[in-house]
Chains A and B, each alone.
Chain A
Amino acid sequence: MLKIKNLHASIDDKEILKGINLEINPGEVHAIMGPNGSGKSTLSSVIAGKEDFDMTQGEIIFEGEELSELDPDERAHKGIFLSFQYPIEIPGVSVTNFMRAAINAHRKANGQDDMPANEMLKLIKEKSELLEIDRKFLSRSLNEGFSGGEKKRNEIFQMAVLDPKLSILDETDSGLDIDALKVVAKGVNKLRTKDNAVLLITHYQRLLNYIQPDFVHVLVDGKIVKSGGKELALELEEKGYDWLKPEQV
Chain B
Amino acid sequence: MELKDKLVSSFLAFEEEFGGENDDLHNIRNQAIKDFDRIGFPGKKEEAWKYTSLNSVLKHDYSFFPKKDDSLEYRDIKDYLIDNIDTYDLVFVDGVYSSHLSQTTHDKIDVCLMSSALNKSPYKAVVDKYFNKIAPKTGLNALNTAFTREGAYIHIQKNKMADKPIQIINFSTGKESAMLLQPRNLIVVDENAHVQIIERHQSLTDSPVLTNAVTEIFADKRAIVDYYKIQNDATSASLIDNTFIEQQSESFCSVHTFSLGGKLTRNNLNFYQKGEHIDSTLKGVTLIEGKQHVDHNTLVHHIEPNCESHQDYKGIFDGNSTGVFNGKVVVEKEAQKTNAYQSNNNVLLTDKATINSKPQLEIFADDVKCSHGCTIGQLDEDALFYLRSRGIPKREAQGLMMYAFANNVLESVKIPELKKRINTLIAEKLDVEVGFSL
A interface list, Cβ under 8 A from B: 48-52, 71-73, 75-77, 81-82, 84, 87-88, 90-94, 96-98, 100-102, 105-106, 109, 117, 121, 124, 135, 138-139, 141, 158, 162
Q: Is the interface of A mostly helix, strand, loop or mixed?
A: helix
Q: Knowing A51-B385, A121-B438 are in contact, say whether A90-B400 is a contact too (CB < 8 A).
A: yes
Residues of A within 8 A of B389 (CB): 48-49, 72-73, 75-76, 81-82, 84
Residues of B within 8 A of A72 (CB): 385, 388-389
B2 within 8 A of A: no
**Contact present for A88 and B386 (CB under 8 Å):** yes
**Contact present for A93 and B404 (CB under 8 Å):** yes
**Contact present for A90 and B391 (CB under 8 Å):** no
Residue in B393, B396, B397 with the greatest tally of chain A CB atoms within 10 Å: B393
Of chain A, the residue at the smallest CB distance from B410 is: A92
**Contact present for A88 and B390 (CB under 8 Å):** no
A231 to chain B, nearest CB (A): 33
B253 to chain A, nearest CB (A): 25
Residues of A within 8 A of B407 (CB): 91-93
A221 to chain B, nearest CB (A): 25
**Contact present for A92 and B393 (CB under 8 Å):** no
Residues of B within 8 A of A141 (CB): 404
Q: Knowing A51-B385, A84-B386 are in contact, say whether A124-B400 is a contact too (CB < 8 A).
A: no
**Contact present for B393 and A73 (CB under 8 Å):** yes
A-B contact pairs, 8 of them (CB 8 A): A71-B388, A73-B392, A77-B391, A82-B389, A92-B407, A93-B407, A102-B390, A105-B390
Residues of A within 8 A of B392 (CB): 73, 101-102, 105
**Contact present for B381 and A52 (CB under 8 Å):** yes
B interface list, Cβ under 8 A from A: 380-383, 385-394, 396-397, 400-401, 403-408, 432-434, 436-438
**Contact present for B382 and A88 (CB under 8 Å):** yes
B158 to chain A, nearest CB (A): 39
**Contact present for A76 and B390 (CB under 8 Å):** yes
Q: Knowing A92-B408, A93-B403 are in contact, say whether A162-B390 is a contact too (CB < 8 A).
A: yes
Residues of B within 8 A of A81 (CB): 389-390
Residues of B within 8 A of A139 (CB): 437-438
Residues of B within 8 A of A109 (CB): 391
Q: State A97–B396 Cα separation when bound (angstroms).
A: 12
Residues of B within 8 A of A82 (CB): 389
**Contact present for B404 and A90 (CB under 8 Å):** yes
**Contact present for B388 and A76 (CB under 8 Å):** yes
B263 to chain A, nearest CB (A): 29
Residue in A84, A105, A158 with the greatest tally of chain B CB atoms within 10 Å: A105
Q: Knowing A52-B381, A77-B391 are in contact, say whether A91-B386 is a contact too (CB < 8 A).
A: no
Q: State A138–B394 Cα separation when bound (angstroms).
A: 23
Residues of A within 8 A of B400 (CB): 90, 93, 98, 101
Q: State A175–B408 Cα separation when bound (angstroms).
A: 28
Additional 9 contacts, C-beta under 8 A, given A106-B391, A139-B437: A51-B381, A71-B393, A71-B394, A88-B382, A92-B405, A92-B408, A105-B391, A121-B438, A141-B404
